[in-house]
Structures are given as C-alpha cells and as structure tokens.
A and B are shown apart, each in its own frame.
Chain A
Amino acid sequence: MMEQKELSVRRSIPFKEQMHILKRIMTFGKPYKKQFAVAIFFSVALAISTAALPRIIQLFIDNHLTTGDLSLSIILTFAGLHFGVTLIRLTVWYLELYLFNMASEKTVQNIRNQLFEKLHTLGMRFFDQTSTGWLITRVTNDTEAMKDFWNVFLNIMQGVFGVVISLGAMFLLDVTVTLWILIFAPVLLIVIRIYQVYSSKTYSEMKSKLSLLNTKLAETINGISIIQQFRQEKRLQKEFEETNQSYFDSRFSMTKINALLLSPVINLLYTLSVVVILTIFGLEALTGPVEVGIIYAFTTYANNFFRPLTRLMDSMSLFQDGIVSSSRILTVMDNEQYAPAQLDKEDAHIEEGKIEFKNVSFSYDGKNNVLKNISFTVNPGETIALVGHTGSGKSSIINVLMRFYDFDEGEVLIDGRSIKEFPMRELRQRTGLVLQDSFLFYGTIKDNIRLLNESITDREIIEAARFVQADKFIEELPGQYDAKVVERGASFSSGQKQLISFASTIVRDPKILILDEATANIDTETEALIQEGLQRMRKGRTTVAIAHRLSTIRDADQILVLDNGHIIERGTHDELIDSGGQYKDMYELQNLGLQTQ
C-alpha cells in the first residue's frame, strides 16, 4: 500500500544517481560473478552461432546453387552443417538462459538474506518510526522486482551482442552496404529516446493508478460493513469507476505509445533497410556481377539487427522500476539506526537482578528529554511499579532497560555493572519482558512458547504452561501443545494469548521481569488466572511493572509516580496515600467520580 504513494510522488532519479545505485546493487551479484560470466560467454556464443546460420546458406547459394556445382553429398553436407550449428545454438541458448536466471535468482536471495539480517541489527527506534507494511514490501516485492531488473540486463546483453555481431558479420560481407545500413543507427536512437521519454511517464502513471485501484478495492472489502451501514455503496462505486476509467485511459495511452513506437516502427525500419540493401545490390548488379547469396545474408542480418530492439525497448520501463526498487532497498541497507551497541564483556552475567538507574536522561529525538534525571534502585527480588499518564515516561524506562533505545546521560547498572557491558543475548535472555498485546506467531503452541530456542525441551514447555496455568485451556485444544496457531493467534482470546506469552517468558527463567500490563478488556475468568500468573512469576524475580490496574501492584515494594519525565513521588502505596500528593489526589478523584455517577 505504501508502494503506490511512493510511485505517485516518484521523482525522476538523475542519471548519475541511477548509475550509482546500479553499481551498488550489482555488488550483491558478486558472489555469483562466475555464473554471470559464463552466461555472458554463452550469450556471445549464441550471437555468433546466430550469425553463422545465414552465412552457411549464403555460401550454399553463392558457391553451389548459382554455380550449379551441386550434388547430393554437397546438399547433405550443408544441411548437416546448418543443423550442427543449430544444435550448438540451442545448447548455448539454453545454458545462457538457465545460468543467467539462476545467477540472478541467487543474487535476489543474497539481497533478501542480507536485508533481513540488516533488519535485525536495527534498533527499536527504526521500527517505531517505520510502517510495517512499507518494510514488508521492501523485503519481498522490491527484491522480487530485482529479478525483472536483471532480466533487463539479459535483454540488453542479447540486444547489444545481436546488433554488434550482425553488424560485424555484415562488415565481413560488404563494407559499403553496411555503412549504408548504419544510417539507420541515429534514427533508431532517436526512436528509442522518444519512446523512453513518453513511455516512462505513462508507464509509471499507469502503475500508480493500478495500485490505487487495488488499494481502493482492498479497502472496500475490508471496510464493507461500514460502507453498507452508511449506505455509501453508490458513492464509492462512482468513485471507483472514476479511478477505473483513469486507469483504463493511461493503459490505453500506453498501448498507443507502444503501437506507435515499439514493434511496428522497428518493423518499418527493418523493411526500409531491406529497400536500401536491395537498391544498392540492384544498382551494383546493373554494372557488374553480384553474388545473390549475399543479398539473402544481408537481409537476414538486418532482421537480426532490428529484432532484439523491440524487447530491449520494452524492458526499459522495467529498468526504471528496478532502479526505484533498488534505491528503496539501499535506503534500508544504509539505515544507521542500529540497536544500541554493547561492550560485550564475556564475564558479564546477570546473577542477582539488582537494577539501578543513576541520573538517567533520555530523549527520542535528541532534543526533548522524555526522562529527566531518573534515579532509583530495585533490590533483587523486589517489585517496583511505575505509574503515570500516557507520555509520562513509563514506557521509556522500559525502552532504556531493555536496551531498545540508548540513553543519553547517567548510568544504568545491573548487579553493579553498567548495562552496556552485558552481551545483548545475555541481557535479553535473563530479562523477561511481557508485552501489552501478546503477539503470537504462526506455528504451534509449542513453537510459540519455545520461540526458536531449540534448547528448551517439551517438558520444560509443559511445566512453564502449568506454572502460569495456561495448561488447562491448552490441554483442551485439539492437538494440545501441538495445536495450530494461525496468523497472529486470531483464534485465541486476548487472555489466552497473554497466558501463552507468560509461559514463553517463564520457560526462560529470567532473573528480571518487566511487565507492561495490558489495558484491554479481558474476560473475568481469564483475568483471575492472569493475576495469579503474574503473582507467581514475580516471586523471586526483580520486577519492574507498568501498572494500569493498581490492584496488581499495591503490594509493590516501591511505586514511582512519573510526570513529564520526572519522578514526582515515590514510596509504597500506603506511604503515598499518607503523604497526600498527586497519587492520593488521583486516587481520590477516581473514587469521587464513582460516587457521583
């Protein structure tokens, strides 16, 4: 969906930049340069064998047919020769196509793998700022478009070799006539240029209209109940038909441009070149002898010269697409919003789970601090609760603690060592974050609890599920722990999803637990299980909890009230109520609100 927006505002990339992009994207094909080289070799061989065929017939005509020096064995020799070259030709052709396609396929795979790997090195800052749809399109469709892009080169290669070798063959036969044929070269270049100018504009217009059309269609299907409820069918039908019509219009202009400037014009030029060839040879024949086989050979070479051009011109719009796709892929590759770098001290292990923030300041944009001079200590096994409005800095503390973002000032220590010293894997695996909305992956329940960590045994999975009391509903499923989880876990209630994600956290036995509590409505029965699961998980673990439901954190060892990036109050629930600050105010306001209703 992102695509058509970009296409519609697509600026034309200057030539120099295009070449630069091309050069860079080509480096992904480097590991396969041998295959490409062999494919190119076969491409040359193909062009040569193609040029050899008319030559054989020309020799047959001029040396035997016209002279009458003909016998069955001569005929069979030439037939055999012709067929032999044909066999060579089809073999090299097959190899050329197959090898080239495979090499470009592998290049695409290489781009994909590197792009995907790159994504995993990027920090949350990048993912928070980038639409997922946009990103998915980069990894799948843009890389897929690369195949067409490489194909353009195959076409160009075949075209250029075809043209050059046909010309070479003509030169060998007759220099004067070949020079005459060359007068078509500037004409051709002009046609190609005109075609390029007109087609590229219309083509991109057509493409962006098509995606607009499909976006509208998709939106209508997804939003159908709203449309029908508001009785907007007629209006949207009309709007759709307008887009449909305008797509047709640009498709039709594209057809016209192609009909005007593509194969019909190439055909015209070819026939005119035959006129030139025949005229010259004819005039020569008036004054002296002419070998007629050469006329045949020349007309065939002229055909070989012009024929590949249609395909070459046709693929030029794909070249533009390829450049656009490449530049988008490179944008992601060049992104430097890396995940925060760690010092990776081998001996850094999280044993106790003591957390200290010392005068930590942090901003997302480098200007406005969202955390200002935050200090607190959580002793091993204790629970700290963070309370505050949306935007007060609760989530930012978690972002800092999980190293999703790098902080700017101050120190964050775990077990007395800077958080930067721990290898990322150690940090992440010893810290269990339970997210607000649980995300389930396609696969089985087991896969979702194990989450790619193959060292976790089935028994551990079952124990973890039992521990958070997810076992009851899981065991009722068909297939139990092997039950299928469809995309995003759509068949489970949000409470059940939460329990599964608890299990996947607890199976890793983290020392530190970070809870970003769900605000969504969860049915009452599961809610009780969740609350109990949370209590159980917190036992023996250092816990940092963002609380929306104060009932779950009333027993916290410490509550921090955040406002605008500052800690404005701290203490236990009772202390905060006693001290009569904002915490108490808010608390009372709520109660008051309830009474008046």
Chain B
Amino acid sequence: MDIFKRLGWFFKQEKKSYLLGVAGLMIVAVLQLIPPRIIGIVVDEIETDVLTEQSLLQWMLILTSTAVLQYILRYMWRVNIWGNAAKLEQIVRKQLYDHFTNMDNTFFQKYRAGDLMAHATNDLRGLRMVAGGGVLTMADAISVGLTTLLAMLFVVDWRLTLIAVIPLPFLALTSRILGQRLHLRFRDAQAAFSQLNDKVQESIQGIKVMKTFGQEKEDVEKFENQTDNVVLKNKAVYKIDSLFDPAITLIMGLSYVLTIIVGGYLIMGDEISIGDFVTFINYIGMLVWPMFAIGRLFNIIERGSASYDRIENLLREDSAINERQGAIDEPISGTLSFDIEAFSYPDDEMVALHHVSFNIEQGQTLGIVGKTGAGKTSIMKLLLREYDNYKGTIRYGGYDIKDYTLDALLKQIGYVPQDNYLFSTTIRENIRFADPTLSQEAVEAAAKLADIHDDIMELPEGYDTEVGERGVSLSGGQKQRISIARAILINPELMILDDSLSAVDAKTEESILSGLKEIREGQTTIIAAHRISSVMHAEEIIVIEKGTIIERGTHSELLAHGGWYEDMYNQQQLERKLEGEDY
C-alpha cells in the first residue's frame, strides 16, 4: 500500500479525475445491486400473485434507467482511471528520458542499454498497472465487495450471508498464491525466450561463418534444443496459469452449495422468500470479481512498487558533470592548455593518464599518435568533460574548462569519435544534427569538405536516404566521413578527430585534411591517429604510451630524435611502398 503513498504526488495532481473516476465506480457498485434485487422482487410478486401491469412497468423503467446510468458512469470511470494511468506512464517516461539525456558516462557504464530500455518499458508498465488497475481494483473491490455484502446482509438475510461467504476469502488467498507462483515461472520462461533470442541473433549475424564451415545441421539441432527448453518452461507456466479459472469455480461452487443448503433450509422455514433466494444467488456471483481482485491487487502492488523502486533509483543517480554557479557563458577561444597529473576511470584502479601536458595556440594543430589503448581517447574524453575526476587542470583561454557552461564549451567543439554512431534518420538530418534548421547548401558544403558528397549523390535517394537499421548500410569509411561532415557543419573553435580517418584511403585522407586546413584558418584542431600521415603536418605531435607522453615535437624533430615515432613512420612507409594501399 506504500506505493499509493509514494505516488501521492500524482494522485494529488490528478485529484479531480481520480475523484470522478472513483465516485463513478462507487455509484456503479450500488447501481449494480438493483437488477438482481428487481429480478427477486418480480419473482416474488409473480409468486405471490401481486404483480400488476403498473408495477411491472414501474420496475422495468427503473431497471432500464439504471442500465443507462450504469453505462454512462462506467464510461466515465474507465476514461478517468485508465486515462490517468496512461498519463502517469507518460510523465514518468518523460522524467526518465530527460534524466537519461543529462547523465554522464559513468551512468551509462553502470547501466547497460538493454537494462535501461527494460526499465523504461517494463517498469513503466508496472507503474501504469498501479495507477490504473491498482486504483481500480482497490476502489472496486472495496465498493462492490462492501455494498454487495451489505445488501446481502440487510436486504436478504444475514445468516445466509455469513455462511455463504465463508469460502470467499480463500478466493483472495488463492489468487494471491497462484499469482506469485506464476510470476516466478513466468520469469523462467522469459529467460528461456531471451536465450532463444540470443541464439537466433548469433546464428543470423554469423550466417556466413556457419555456411563457411558447413555446420547448418548442427546449428539447427542446437536451435531445436533451445525451443525445447522454451516449451518446457512454458509448460510450467501453463500448469499454473490454467488453474486460475478452475480455482475460482471451485470456491464459488462451495459458496453456491452453502447457499442452496442454507437458503433451502431458510425457505423451508419461511424465513426468506424465493425472490430473496434468487437475488442472493445473483449477488454471490457479483462477489467473485472483488474477492479475486483483492488477491490480484497484492501482486499488482508488489510488482508496481518494485518497478517504482528501480525507476526511482535511476532518477536518483546524479551526473558528476555539473556547471558551476555563474559559469562563463562566453564561447571558448584562445590557447588550450592541458595539464593532467593523473586520471583513472571511475571504479578502475588502472591509471589511464598521468603527466600529460600540452599547449595548443589558437589556430594550431596537435597530433596524437600511439598504440590502441595508449590513452589517446582518454585525453579527448577529458577535453569533452565526460569525466571531471582528474588531478590537474585543463584551461581554455586561461580559464578552467570546468568554469565554462557546457554550452560555451561543447558547442565550440566538433568531435568526430572513433565509433561513428549515426541515427536512424536521413543522411541530411544526421549531418545537420547539431542544428536541423541549417540549409541544404550548408549541409552539402560540409559533405563536400568531408569528401562524402559524391557518395551520397550515388545513393538512391541522395540526402534523403535513411541510414541505420531501417535504411541503407554504409561502409565504415562512409560513416566516418558523415561524422566528419557533422562536426564540420558547426564550424567549431576546436575540432577533434579521434582516429576518424582510419577507414578512408590515403588520398581521401589527404584531401579531407587539406580541405579542413583551408577553412579552419585560425581555429584549433586535434588529430589522434594510427597513421602517421594524418598528423605529420601538425605544429606539435605527441606520442602516447601507457597513458603518458613518451616523445614530442614536430614531424621532423621526432624523426631526427629517432624513437617510437620514427620506427612507426618507417614501418608504415615500408608497408605503403609494398602494398597498394586500399586501391
């Protein structure tokens, strides 16, 4: 019941419609009592021969008007209560979404994408059940149960009532126990299904490998084992699930038996009329739902409050990245000085960066080379304020980057990441992601600079081509170049290419880099790369190994120095001499 208190803010907010809904429910509960009673009365009037045309007409008019009234009220409470449930779902979904967009990297490492999706779908459903089904069940069970019981007690006969309702509490108990059991078994079945899912996914994604090794038959066998397991787990579910209706039948059957015995006995002694008996039997039937619902209510509340726990836990998470009070709103410009003593990723003992410092004057280019995992990307992440927990300072134009607003900092940085994430929309929208109001001309200019325009024009729908799961699949090099265009378009003060030219050939790389140099006169650039040719024109090049700088200087200085850089350069040159690059 605690969950109702915790959702109090919502009930308060939607007070009016909840009141309308619950009032509707209660009135319906009372109105429902009328038809069985009228049936009973008419039976009695026929039996005792007092029925007249007029009384019949009168009863039928009452019956008809309660029917119509019930219809209106039922419509009213449904729309109000179910509508509110959907509204709660909508509100919390928005809260979750907004929250996700404001969370930092640490958060997304802690919770996997699949889990977050599950919270935003299943847990929201659990919550909707509380706000809809939960409220409905509670209000309905109480009002229908109580009014029916009162009617049975006072309108019909209290002795009959007390005996006939003895089995009914077991109904609540049964539905509660079965519900719990079912939940556990259902979870197993879900797990089996998701295993099956994984298997299908792998087999289809790895179909070429499967075919290559000619092991189709064995794969089918393996799949059939999985489907067997799914059937087995669902069998356990059905064994319980199929019990619900029969269990109700059994308990209700007991109530009917008691009614027949006690009712018959009472009629024998002329204590109640036949009409009372008929009314009573109808009332018993009306108690099924409230009793059953009470049992169900426990399950709804239990699951709903577990769901709300999980959602609140997520919402309670804080981002470590915050803007300082009165932060500088002026866009960054000037010299970038990076001076890090030490940095480790949260919950990781390994030192990712130590003693890394460099200065980039406005308009200059810094090259960063080093092996995969040496720490190049970590430098970028700190610049982008993905993590704040480092020792040292990063200054832009003399101010700590933490002193700028996020807008002032990030809107001036054009970052092209290693993994090129594109959204499932058109190529145009992907390129002008930072500002959907930009014109086609601007988009095309950026695409041309990134050397992707011609590729796009060859696609069936040009810039309107959808990418991603639903659209065409692009090569790694094409995705990289679209990401570059996306960054170019914002005309950033600082452009960061994080190994973003790895999948394009040397000629394209050359043309992109020289194009960038031309338009980015006076703006700062950082290029991290595996290929020396990407960084050789930079004003300064640093070589990173195991999180720190092992060599630095210009291209010629580094070559003269004779170290890792020179080795790498010679090796790559040799390779390029021998191979035809990617022609």
Tell me the bound Cα distance from A105 to B46 in angstroms: 53
Question: Which of chain A's residues have a CB closer than 8 A to the CB of B360?
Answer: none
Question: Which of chain B's residues have a CB closer than 8 A to the CB of A260?
Answer: 75
A335 at the interface (CB under 8 A from B): no
Q: Which residue of A lies closest to B233 (CB)?
A: A105
Given known contacts A226-B417, A231-B411, is B580 in contact with A550 (CB within 8 Å)?
A: yes
Q: Which residue of B lies closest to A495 (CB)?
A: B372
B181 at the interface (CB under 8 A from A): no
Interface residues of A in 97-139 (CB under 8 A from B): 97-98, 101-102, 105-106, 109, 112-113, 116-117, 119-120, 124, 127, 131-133, 135-136, 139
Asked if A271 and B46 make an inter-chain contact with CB atoms under 8 angstroms apart, the answer reads no
Q: Within the complex, which residue of B35, B39, B213 is in contact with A508, where a contact is CB–CB below 8 Å? A: B213
Smallest distance from the beta carbon of A549 to chain B beta carbons, Å? 4
Asked if B46 and A76 make an inter-chain contact with CB atoms under 8 angstroms apart, the answer reads no
Interface string of B205-225 (1 = CB under 8 A from A): 111111111111011101110
5 inter-chain pairs at a CB distance below 8 angstroms, sorted by A residue, are A72-B265, A267-B67, A279-B56, A519-B582, A548-B580
Interface residues of B in 321-363 (CB under 8 A from A): none
Interface string of A255-285 (1 = CB under 8 A from B): 1101110011101100110110011011101
Interface residues of A in 132-170 (CB under 8 A from B): 132-133, 135-136, 139-140, 144
Given known contacts A224-B100, A231-B410, is B238 in contact with A101 (CB within 8 Å)?
A: yes
B462 at the interface (CB under 8 A from A): no
State the B residues within 8 Å of A (CB): 35, 38-39, 42-43, 46-47, 51-53, 56, 59-60, 63-64, 66-68, 70-71, 74-75, 78-79, 82-83, 86-87, 89-90, 93-94, 97-98, 100-103, 105, 108, 113, 116-117, 120-121, 193, 196-198, 200-216, 218-220, 222-224, 227-228, 230-231, 234-235, 238-239, 241-243, 245-247, 249-250, 252-254, 256-257, 260-261, 264-265, 267-268, 274-275, 277-278, 281-282, 371-372, 384, 386, 406-407, 410-411, 413, 415, 417, 421, 423-424, 433-434, 436, 469-470, 473, 486, 490, 502-503, 506-507, 510, 530, 533, 536, 571, 573, 575-583
Question: Which of chain B's residues have a CB closer than 8 A to the CB of A116?
Answer: 200, 203, 220, 223-224
Question: Which of chain B's residues have a CB closer than 8 A to the CB of A66?
Answer: 47, 274
Tell me the bound Cα distance from A524 to B257 in angstroms: 84
Q: Which residue of A lies closest to B96 (CB)?
A: A217
Question: Which of chain A's residues have a CB closer than 8 A to the CB of B51?
Answer: 282, 285-286
Q: Which residue of A lies closest to B530 (CB)?
A: A521
Smallest distance from the beta carbon of B277 to chain A beta carbons, Å? 7
Tell me the bound Cα distance from A198 to B259 in angstroms: 44
Tell me the bound Cα distance from A112 to B51 in angstroms: 65
Question: Which of chain B's residues have a CB closer than 8 A to the CB of A53?
Answer: 256
A389 at the interface (CB under 8 A from B): yes
A386 at the interface (CB under 8 A from B): no
Tell me the bound Cα distance from A272 to B238 in angstroms: 37
Tell me the bound Cα distance from A3 to B249 in angstroms: 40
**Which secondary structure dominates chain B's binding surface?**
helix
Tell me the bound Cα distance from A258 to B81 in angstroms: 13
Question: Which of chain A's residues have a CB closer than 8 A to the CB of B94?
Answer: 237, 240-241, 244
Q: What size tier do the contact residues of chain A reach?
A: 35 or more
Tell me the bound Cα distance from A109 to B228 in angstroms: 8
Interface residues of A in 394-420 (CB under 8 A from B): 402, 404
Tell me the bound Cα distance from A75 to B121 in angstroms: 55
Q: Within the complex, which residue of A57, A139, A550 is in contact with B200, where a contact is CB–CB below 8 Å? A: A139
Question: Which of chain B's residues have a CB closer than 8 A to the CB of A144?
Answer: 193
Q: Which residue of B lies closest to A250 (CB)?
A: B86
A82 at the interface (CB under 8 A from B): yes
Smallest distance from the beta carbon of B307 to chain A beta carbons, Å? 16
Question: Which of chain A's residues have a CB closer than 8 A to the CB of B207?
Answer: 119, 124, 127
Q: Which residue of B lies closest to A81 (CB)?
A: B260
Smallest distance from the beta carbon of A69 to chain B beta carbons, Å? 10
Q: Within the complex, which residue of A136, A237, A286 is in contact with B101, where a contact is CB–CB below 8 Å? A: A237
A349 at the interface (CB under 8 A from B): no
A502 at the interface (CB under 8 A from B): no
Asked if A428 and B212 make an inter-chain contact with CB atoms under 8 angstroms apart, the answer reads yes
Tell me the bound Cα distance from A290 to B506 in angstroms: 100
Asked if A267 and B246 make an inter-chain contact with CB atoms under 8 angstroms apart, the answer reads no
Q: Within the complex, which residue of A136, A258, A259, A523 is in contact with B197, where a contact is CB–CB below 8 Å? A: A136
